Chains A and B, each alone.
Chain A
Amino acid sequence: DIQLTQSPSFLSASVGDRVTITCRASQGINSYLAWYQQKPGKAPKLLIYVASTLQSGVPSRFSGSRSDTEFTLTISSLQPEDFATYYCQQLNSYPITFGQGTRLEIK
């Protein structure tokens, strides 16, 4: 199975900050990585797919990039509604796997 390791697991930041979340794959997954945002009691919401494509309707302050097996999600200027848990997901091979999540909280 492909392991996805997110870092950090917990992040405290302020409104207006620029934050980066990293997801490292245990082996090559091409660019078949997606990022999701989940708020308490809600279903996950797709933000980014194939590593760097912004899902329709998602604010442009969200961006994704890839360097080999390391993927990053960047929020350029945190807004109050961005405080949530973020997950990466690989769909290169089965079983489909998720990272363990990064909880982003208000400082």
Chain B
Amino acid sequence: EVQLVESGGGLVQPGGSLRLSCAASGFTFSDYHMDWVRQAPGKGLEWVGRIRNKGRSYTTEYAVSVKGRFTVSRDDSKNSLFLQMNSLKTEDTAFYYCARDNHFYSFDIWGQGTMVTVSS
């Protein structure tokens, strides 16, 4: 079964750091570009960042709201995607989803999400 499973969410104080993980299974992870998308409680979807596959040199893209604070990385040997979040702000509170880019300009597989709460 093709699957993405996020972990690592929790409660963190403003200014703190957190690292999210996304474990992939059921497909050749290394072939795909991967993304993070977040959703604040009761709000819409916001794209966070992307890491391309090895063929595209693992290059990354970020939303302006997180650039310089968040880093997307991957370990193809472990079929894993990561989101390192530093200098967290209260407005970063959201469900964080990892998603697979299906090579056809869309995200066809999503994880179940992990909740990040930034609060003192």
Contact status of A98 and B107, CB under 8 A, knowing A43-B97, A43-B112, A43-B113: no
Query: CB distance B47 to A95 under 8 Å?
Result: yes
Contact status of A34 and B63, CB under 8 A, knowing A43-B97, A101-B44: no
Select the stretch in A16-24, A46-54, A65-73, A76-84 that faces chain B: A46-54
Cβ of A15 within 8 Å of any chain B Cβ, yes or no, is: no
Contacts of A34 in B (CB 8 A): 105-107
Cβ of B110 within 8 Å of any chain A Cβ, yes or no, is: yes
Give Cα distance in the complex from A99 to B44, angstroms.
8
Main secondary structure of the interface of B (DSSP, over half): strand
Q: How many residues of A contact B (CB 8 A)?
A: 26
Query: CB distance A98 to B105 under 8 Å?
Result: no
Give Cα distance in the complex from A91 to B106, angstroms.
7
Contacts of B104 in A (CB 8 A): 49-50, 53
Give Cα distance in the complex from A99 to B45, angstroms.
8
Q: How many residues of B contact A (CB 8 A)?
A: 22
Per-residue CB contact flags for chain B residues 93-106 toward chain A (1 = under 8 Å, else 0) read: 00001000010111
Contacts of B75 in A (CB 8 A): none
Contacts of B14 in A (CB 8 A): none
Give Cα distance in the complex from A32 to B111, angstroms.
22
Contacts of B45 in A (CB 8 A): 36, 38, 44, 87, 89, 98, 101
- The residue in A44, A87, A101 that gathers the most chain B C-beta atoms within 10 A of its C-beta is A44
Closest residue of chain A to B67, judged by CB?
A: A95
Interface residue ranges of A5-35 to B (CB < 8 Å): 32-34
Cβ of B76 within 8 Å of any chain A Cβ, yes or no, is: no
Q: Which of B37, B62, B105, B108 contacts A50 (CB 8 A)?
A: B105
10 interchain residue pairs of minimum CB distance = A49-B106, A34-B106, A43-B110, A96-B47, A91-B105, A98-B45, A32-B105, A101-B44, A94-B61, A95-B63
Chain A contacts to B: CB under 8 angstroms:
1, 32-34, 36, 38, 43-46, 49-50, 53, 55, 87, 89, 91-92, 94-101
